[in-house]
Amino acid sequence: MRVSLTLSHDQVKTVLTESYVAGLDVGTTRIRTVVAQPDPRGALRILGLGVVPADGLARGIVVDRDKATVAIKESIHRAQVRAGVEIAGAYVGVSGAHVACRNVTGRVHVPSGEVGHGDIEKVIQSARDSVRTGPEQQIIHTLVRDFAVDGERSIARPEGMRGSRLDVEVHVITGVGSIIANLEESVMAAGVRVLKHVLEPVATAMAVISEAERDLGVILADIGGGTTDVAVFSEGAICHTASLPAAGNHVTRDLAQLLRIEPQDAEAVKRRYGVALAEMVAAEETVKVREVGTEQEMRIPRRLLGEIIQPRMEEIFNLVKENLILAGFYETVGGGVVLSGGGAQLVGAARLASATLDNLPVRIGAPHRLTGLEDSVDSPSYATAVGLAMMAAHDEAWAMPTRPATGAGPWWESAKAWWKQTILPAVRRLAAPQAPRR
């Protein structure tokens, strides 16, 4: 039976209002949930945001599942209340030193002489099959970098092209299955289904890096709490990813130990007064801190904060440089460096990064192409959560207007397919600007 669908503009408005995506960034220091919905103009409208201190996590992985579940649940709850929707599923970020990457190739012959969808699936699978993984590892992403037909490279869409041989180069990202499973179980215990695991720098890049930068070649350094995540783009495609074990928490720890203050006080001082370059602070400027174990406040030179922070930030940027040199990608970037994450908000971070990375141009990256509560997430620290929501929107992983009952099984999958294939195309047609009549 063929069903035709006709929607009025009021119905389109209702569909747009009730559709949403969610991104969940489970970081070492903060857990951020972003809820967004489609915008007729092609942007993403931010509906709600839930931010809470992280618990039960270290270096980007779950170390106490019960505590992590409580914190994740609270972050989701706050986002739901703000957005006025119930989150059924979310794209969830993955990070940590357990993540590894490699670039591999695949090749298939095209017997029909015309590349079909099946040939594309086969060549990508042949590349995946060439990746040797241990029993504890699983593939998180298979990101296509380039297709070639009969040796001609840089083919963006090979389907329908004439040729006898199809090649592909893909960037494969793997992680430890048990670590990913522990994160997924914590999210599910908080009442939300993991729709997709996404490597955090891949999501962050979606929110802060432009197409022009991808084409020129660009380095993304996302300085979080437990890790600094790195991604390199060249000729429009991702070519390298890494997670480095030095980040914002190390800066906080240095301040706490050298100033003899509580870790939470050190974090607050870092966020409010911290600088990555000591020379940017006037010699006479001071700040108040409270010595550990006492209620007594003392004044210290603000420049001292910079003298403590700067060596650690230099270490982080040198680790990025060494990682890229070792991987062979340091010389391939013409678009410079984009800094993101909480560590990017330190005064002078961009200047210090440029000085450490051989004077490459450096900018601070914050989410863009947003409407709604965009001012609430217009910060490098929200880039990953927003990027996860953007990836969900790109994949058309829109939620149904009502949450299915537990155990809906095949009905829910059929409903999602109907929503994606029937409702959304009609919404886009009717929501698109109409050409003026002549």
Going by their DSSP bridges, the two strands 61-62 and 30-38 should be labelled as unpaired
| Cα–Cα distance for residue pair 345/366, rounded to 1 Å | 10
Assess contact for 183 and 199: CB atoms under 8 A. no
**Domain coordinates in residue numbering, the chain:** 9-97+179-200+369-423
* pLDDT tens track, the chain, 438 positions: 333 334 344 444 444 456 889 999 999 899 999 999 877 776 788 999 999 999 999 888 999 999 999 999 999 999 999 998 899 999 999 998 899 999 999 999 999 999 999 999 999 999 999 998 888 889 999 999 999 999 999 898 999 999 999 999 999 999 999 999 999 999 999 999 999 999 999 999 999 999 999 999 999 999 999 999 999 998 888 999 999 989 999 999 999 999 999 999 999 999 999 999 999 999 899 999 998 988 888 999 999 999 999 999 999 999 999 999 999 998 888 789 999 999 999 999 999 999 999 999 999 999 987 888 878 888 999 999 999 999 999 888 887 544 433 444 443 454 455 445 555 555 455 444 444 444
Q: What is the CATH class of 9-97+179-200+369-423?
A: alpha beta
The residues, ordered by sequence, that sit 6+ positions from 211 with a Cβ below 8 Å of its Cβ are: 236
Sign of CA dihedral 258, 261, 262, 265: negative
pTM listed for this prediction: 0.83
Sign of CA dihedral 188, 192, 197, 203: negative
Going by their DSSP bridges, the two strands 286-290 and 297-301 should be labelled as antiparallel
